Amino acid sequence: HELTAYVKEMGYTHVELMGIAEHPYDGSWGYQVTGYFAPTSRYGSPSDFMYFVNYLHRHGIGVILDWVPAHFPKDAHGLADFDGEPLYEYADPRKGEHPDWGTKVFDYGKNEVKDFLISNAIFWVEKFHVDGLRVDAVASMLYLDYGRQSGQWIPNKNGGNQNLEAIEFFKHLNTVLRGRNSGAMMIAEESTAWPKVTDHPEVDGLGFTFKWNMGWMHDFLEYMKLDPYFRKYNHHRMTFGLTYFTSENYILVLSHDEVVHLKCSMINKMPGLGKDKFSNLKAGYTYMLGHPGKKLLFMGQDFGQCHEWDEKVALDWQLTDDEDHRDLQNYVRDLLQLYRKYPALYQLDNDWNGFMWVNANDGDRSIFSFIRRDETDRKSLLFVINFTPVARPDYRVGVPKKGKYTRLLDSEHGAYKASEAQSYVSAKGECDGQPYSFAYPLPGYGTAIFRF
């Protein structure tokens, strides 16, 4: 009940749960599964989980589960050597074991194993009514040499490193599950440039609905961690994702993996001290919201959780009593509410018509300006984001049309009520390669979103 109230108040559309299938080791976070058809008893009974999903659905919140068909642990009470010999896993350890993880790999060449996994995916969607599955570690399934040194893996029949059986499994899995359940999402955590992950199997795609954009995540975090002085030399990290955003149906992710193992929490990745950290994170989240692709934040990132995520302890919710943390939380809420209100932010996420740079090359000032459009081209949004603490009182931004540009949100105020919103009128004259422009004094770390 508390989760649902919070998710609704903030403006999220879905929750994604880390692995909840039964697992023996807390430290695996649910990603080393022994009971594929059992919600873990840590949180209650199967009927309790049904109530959880149903309650979220009744309040308009979707539920996505992390699902792990890539590997399973060696525990004797699990699937390993199930009948005394390799049954679910490949018999040859060069295919049947992950050296890095110390786990077994499913034998995707066996029809019985494929049926087991596909029926399990269907079980969660049809029995528990979850809205989608995020498939963990897809790359480890697609590549025979994933995490293996020379001599530790066997090439396929064509001499390549692709696991042909796993490729066929994905096509079969996604065709069956999405065919039986219209609207169900299948999301791939795929960290390489494997082609056509979200294309239909009829055109040799894998058939997923969405793909996690891990490349964007790495570039974004590397840029955000930099001292602002050095950002002008790394401007390309923030623009590169816009060269390929139409190639797949992407989700931009800042997941649990980015805030564990000494990688720092999101707020502590930011350069500077005190309020500068919060200003940096506001600018980063604004850029993320405007960038094409669905969005995923891990818990605690919306209010500036300070310590790294730890499965053994709760989040530091008391931080929201602090002015800076509460201000960040309110700002993220305002961003999410804008996202829900304006189709320009999600309707054409993998269409060139949905995004236009105003100025992608203002690297010396580390300012980004761009436009998001929907199918009507009537309620477009202009983004301006300054990634340095240097104020630009003489800033002008180029725009494509004559008329009023209404400020919906900025970093100092958050979202404006309709009665408070200020409009800026464009004047004719080339700026940023556009035929019109208007002046907007841009504060240090300033962000602004305008409707036109």
Domain ranges of the chain: 2-345, 352-451
Neighbours of 292 (CB within 10 A): 23
Helix (H, G, I), strand (E, B) or coil at 429: strand
pLDDT at 335: 98
Summarize pLDDT for 328-361 with one digit per residue, the tens: 999 999 999 999 999 999 999 999 999 999 999 9
Q: Retrieve residue 87's tokens.
A: 């049954």
- CA dihedral sign of residues 429, 435, 438, 440: negative
**34: phi then psi, degrees, rounded to nearest 5:** -110, -30
pLDDT at 81: 97
Which residues are marked as active site? 136, 189
Distance CA 428, CA 452 (A): 16
Helix (H, G, I), strand (E, B) or coil at 32: coil
Counted residue by residue, the chain has a size of 452
Mean pLDDT of the chain: 97
- CA dihedral sign of residues 37, 42, 48, 49: negative
- Which single residue is written with the structure tokens 């309620």? 379
Question: Does the fold of domain 352-451 match that of domain 2-345?
Answer: no
Q: Integer distance in angstroms from the first to the last C-alpha of the chain?
A: 38
Summarize pLDDT for 145-186 with one digit per residue, the tens: 999 999 999 999 999 999 999 999 999 999 999 999 999 999
Q: Retrieve residue 248's tokens.
A: 């797949």
pLDDT at 140: 97
Angle among Cα 333, 335, 337 to the nearest 5 degrees reads 70
Q: How confident is the model at residue 420 (pLDDT cuts 50, 70, 90)?
A: very high
Q: Is residue 299 classed exposed, middle or buried when 0-12, 13-18 and 19+ CB atoms within 10 A define those classes? A: middle
Summarize pLDDT for 267-277 with one digit per residue, the tens: 999 999 999 99
Distance CA 107, CA 105 (A): 6
Contact by Cβ (8 Å): 369, 377: no
Q: How confident is the model at residue 371 (pLDDT cuts 50, 70, 90)?
A: very high
**Could you please report the per-residue DSSP string of 101-141?**
TTEE-B-TT-HHHHHHHHHHHHIIIIIS--SEEEETTHHHH
Summarize pLDDT for 390-416 with one digit per residue, the tens: 999 999 999 999 999 999 999 999 999
Pairing of strands 294-297, 21-22: unpaired
Please, which residues have CB within 8 angstroms of residue 122's CB and are 6 or more apart in sequence? 176, 177, 180, 181
Neighbours of 405 (CB within 10 A): 23
Summarize pLDDT for 220-254 with one digit per residue, the tens: 999 999 999 999 999 999 999 999 999 999 999 99
352-451, CATH topology level? Immunoglobulin-like (2.60.40)
User: In CATH, what number does 2-345 get?
Assistant: 3.20.20.80
Please, which residues have CB within 8 angstroms of residue 47's CB and are 6 or more apart in sequence? none
**250: phi then psi, degrees, rounded to nearest 5:** -95, 155
Q: How confident is the model at residue 117 (pLDDT cuts 50, 70, 90)?
A: very high
Buried b (16+ CB within 10 A) or exposed e, 31-47: bbbbebeebbeeeeeee
3-state secondary structure string, 68-87?
CCCCECCCCCCCCCCCCCCC
What is this structure's pTM? 0.96
Summarize pLDDT for 120-133 with one digit per residue, the tens: 999 999 999 999 99
* Best CA proximity match to 166, nearest among 236, 107, 102: 107
Kindly state the DSSP code that residue 309 receives in the 8-state scheme: P
**379: phi then psi, degrees, rounded to nearest 5:** -120, 65
